[in-house]
Amino acid sequence: MHWGTMISTTVGALLTLAVFSFLYKDNPFYKFAEHLMVGVSAGYWVVILYYTVFVPNVVGKLQAGQWYYLIPAVLGLLMWARLTRKWSWVSRYPLAFYLGIATGVAIPLEMKAKIIEQLNGSVDLVTQMYSAQAGWATVVNNILILIGVISGLIYFFFSKAHTGATGGVAKLGIGILMIGFGASFGFTVMARVSLLIERLQFLLFDWLHWY
Amino acid sequence: MALWDKMFAIDRRWVYLALGLSVLISLKIPFSIPVPVSKEARNIYNFVDTLKAGDAVHLAIDYDPSTLAELHPMTLSILKQCFEKKIKVVITALHQNGPGMAAEAIDTAVARHLARTGEKKINGVDYVFLGYKPYPSLIILGMGQNYRIPFPTDYYNVPLDSLPMMKKIQNYNNVKAILNISGTSATDYWITYGNGRYRVPLAIGVTGVMATDYYPYWQTGQIFGILGGLKGAAEYETLVGTPGKAVDGMKVQMVAHLIIIVFILVGNIGYFAERKRRGQETL
Amino acid sequence: MKRQLPLLIISVCGVFMVFQYFVPHETSEFLYEFIALDWPPIIGIFALTLGIISLVRVSFTKIRKRSPDWQFSIVTLLGLIAMIVAGLPWFGGQKSSAVQWQYQNIMKPITATIFSLLSFFIASAAYRAFRARSVLASILLISAVIVMIRFFPLGPLTGAVTWMADWVLNVPNLAAKRAIIIGIGLGIISTAMKVILGVERSYMGRD
């Protein structure tokens, strides 16, 4: 292996081991790695923001004679007023501009993607049940999904006390939610273990070449 | 100390050691487990497989090194399939620490393709890497109007109009689908703003933590496929015929899962024994 | 001036964006493309660097005051400076090999390993807290175990387990997550309305 690659991989491996040392207990090696990561990541962000956003989207536009790009640049600069107590209110203007756009754009699209489409999908389940090809399994499953969605929503509906019939349906809703959270937990275990596998693959194979 | 007390009192570091050793040992033992392919993964493969040479897809690589274990194999497999099918790829990275991941995936995929086929894939002709911009929701909407609004240049500061591949690509109308590989909420933005506003077909490859949250979108057709975690990655590696780190990782997953299930069982046996004993004491 | 104008800006921008979605007139398309979608990322450059500036300030304060572990703040600042220097134009900016080297050999291993620690914590949590204490906890446990063993080669049982896991994911999980998604959707919309109408003002801070 090229010595340069070996040194680079060794640096990565030693930092990996420094982080793993936290499993025994908090220690200076872990703290070193953690603080180094924060610094380097912040530096990386500066580099990326400067070269891939500021240069093409501001400098490039101004060089092309599109002077009106000074407006968002100045608005952006006003954000830095946050750093002073006296002038921090000035940063509300650019913030208001961004928030207004981001929230305005969200209303119709969130409504469409998260509510209308989801309700459409639920209605489709009813339609499917009446189609000629629907077997009994489809019918049962679709009914279960519909019951699950409705009871789950009732569980989240806090304007009415969860007593009597509402309480019963809400309880069913919690049960359905628990199955969903169980599935999420099962997948989360896989996700977390994957990260460990990758690190050990790196240490064993990429660093030690211990195939 | 009674047995159930011992079951309760295992120091967390023994749990760590057991998990660490089981992963380490199973990595070294040469065996494999079958990776059956789910419909969610096959849909994505089939979609890309039916595209014609010269068609374009948008590969949105929205993750940083914290989730590379699960997502990098997905990206590499999809790039392999696209390169082999001569499908052009528009690549973005909307995670602030993600451009490095995307650049690495591209370099690896290009090098592997060169080694396998002798054909060199060229930036600007076979693929373009647009890079990063902040505020994913507005960037996704911007690209839907025209890629040049948020990205006047690519990641390497080359104007988009001077890249041969981008001459025919204005917005999502000119890509067949968006394949989003993500470890962040960017996936929600792609669904809400990309598919929601522009109706562009969308498939996702996400971390295991996120995967179960997207099944409702799969049922409604807002997304046409899901790759969930390392298993999803292993499925795609199997589909493209190059089993790699993800397929290799699945045997280790099985052993690690077994260990965790054993710990859950031990904890529960201890708990029920303790409860029974307490019940007897109160009697 | 300090409060009313920002509220007005938010309302005008917010109402315009909702209006624009439903009325894609030429003028509204122009404003949508060339202001609404083009300008915020530029503002974002400055907004996001606030975080970096604040990190530098906090680190310097820790060093000056000799707070506990102040030495590590020097490490943070050195890491920051090393990356910024590596990315100076003379070295090739974001494409410089020194930036790539630090990304590959410092950022990548540390970030990946910090998150991999979670595998140990989830194993420990599963052992300590994942108990069948009640019917609901048992449902959670059973659902989790079915999903966990779905890729095990279990011989004749494999088909049944795969079917069960698919059922869990595509029926009860789908229903639960749909209820959550609709809830989140309603939450986002109502919060957005409150911001546009000036009811929610916490983003403005005090004074």
**Nearest-10 Cα torsion for C99, C104, C106, C112:** 140
Give the model's pLDDT for residue B263: 92
Does the pLDDT value for residue C97 go beyond 90?
Answer: yes
- What count of CB pairs under 8 Å joins B to C? 143
Please tell me the distance from the alpha carbon of residue C137 to that of residue B239, in angstroms, as a whole number: 37
CA distances from C18 to A107, B138, C29, C37, C171 (A): 7, 14, 12, 14, 35
Q: What confidence tens digit (pLDDT) does each residue in A72-101 have?
A: 999 999 999 988 888 989 999 999 999 999
Question: What does the pLDDT average to over B232-254?
Answer: 96
The Cα B87–Cα B57 span in angstroms is: 7
% pLDDT > 90, chain B: 89
pLDDT for position C112: 96
Strand pairing of B202-206 and B127-131? unpaired
Chain A, window 63-92: residues with a beta carbon less than 8 angstroms from a chain C beta carbon: 69, 71-73, 75-77, 79-80, 82-83, 88-89, 92
Scan residues 177-196 of B and list those with Cβ closer than 8 Å to C: none
Question: What is the average per-residue pLDDT within B237-253?
Answer: 95
Of A12, A80, A182, which has the smallest distance from its Cβ to C147's Cβ?
Answer: A182
pLDDT at B10: 79
The answer to whether residue C141 neighbours chain A at the CB level (below 8 Å) is yes
Tell me the angle at which helices B39-49 and B68-84 cross, rounded to the nearest 10 degrees.
Answer: 30
Write out pLDDT tens, residues A2-60.
888 999 999 999 999 999 999 999 999 999 999 999 999 999 999 999 999 999 999 99
What's the CA gap between A36 and A18, in Å, rounded?
Answer: 12
pLDDT of residue B12: 87
Shortest CB distance from B70 goes to which of A124, A191, A200? A191
Task: Indicate the helix (H) or strand (E) that contains B56.
Answer: strand B56-62
Structure tokens at C44: 């974002």
Beta carbons of A113 and B197 less than 8 angstroms apart: no
pLDDT at B4 exceeding the cut of 70: no
Query: Measured between CA atoms, how close is B210 to chain A, in angstroms?
Result: 8
Question: Above 90 in pLDDT, residue C86?
Answer: yes
Identify the helix (H) or strand (E) that includes residue B239: helix B229-240
Q: For B163-182, what is each residue's pLDDT tens digit?
A: 999 999 999 999 999 999 99
> What does the pLDDT look like over A94-138, one tens digit per residue?
999 999 999 999 999 999 999 999 999 999 999 988 887 778 999
The pLDDT of residue A124 is 93
Tens of pLDDT, residue by residue over B268-279, are 988 888 888 887
Rounded CA-CA distance A176/C142 in Å is 13
**B283 has pLDDT over 70:** no
Sign, CA torsion B94/C47/B67/A180:
negative
**Which chains lie within 8 Å of chain C at 3 or more CB pairs, if any?**
A, B
Token pair 């590989």 is found at B181
Tokens 């929601």: give the residue: B196
Nearest to A180 among C9, C135, C172 (CB): C172
**CB contacts, 8 Å: A195 with chain C:** 112, 115-116, 118-119
Which of C111, B195, B64 is closest to A112 using CA atoms?
A: B195
Q: What is the pLDDT of residues B23-62, one digit of tens each?
A: 999 999 999 999 999 999 999 999 999 999 999 999 999 9
Contact C174 B215 (CB under 8 A): yes
- Residue C62 pLDDT exceeds 90: yes
How sure is the predictor about C128, in pLDDT bands with cuts at 50, 70 and 90?
A: confident
Task: Assign B281 a pLDDT band (cuts: 50, 70, 90).
Answer: low
Pairing of strands B178-182, B226-228: unpaired
Q: Is B274 exposed, middle or buried (0-12, 13-18, 19+ CB in 10 A)?
A: middle
Please give, rounded to a whole number of angstroms, the shortest distance from the CA of A47 to a CA of chain C: 6
Output the CA–CA distances (angstroms, integers) from residue A148 to A141, A173, C10, C95, C181, in the order listed: 10, 6, 38, 51, 13
Q: What is the pLDDT of residue C2?
A: 80
Question: What is residue C36's DSSP assignment?
Answer: I
Verify whether the Cβ–Cβ distance C148 to B260 is below 8 Å.
yes
Strand, coil or helix: B165: helix
What pTM, to 2 d.p., does this model score? 0.95
For chain C, how are helix, strand and coil distributed in percent, rounded to 5?
Answer: 80, 0, 20
Chain C residues within an 8 Å CB radius of A137: none
Cα–Cα distance measured from residue B188 to residue A113, given in angstroms and rounded to the nearest whole number: 9
Cβ-Cβ contacts under 8 Å between A and B: the total is 150
Q: What is the pLDDT of residue C59?
A: 96
DSSP secondary-structure letter at B129?
E
The values of phi and psi at residue C70, to 5°, are -60, -25
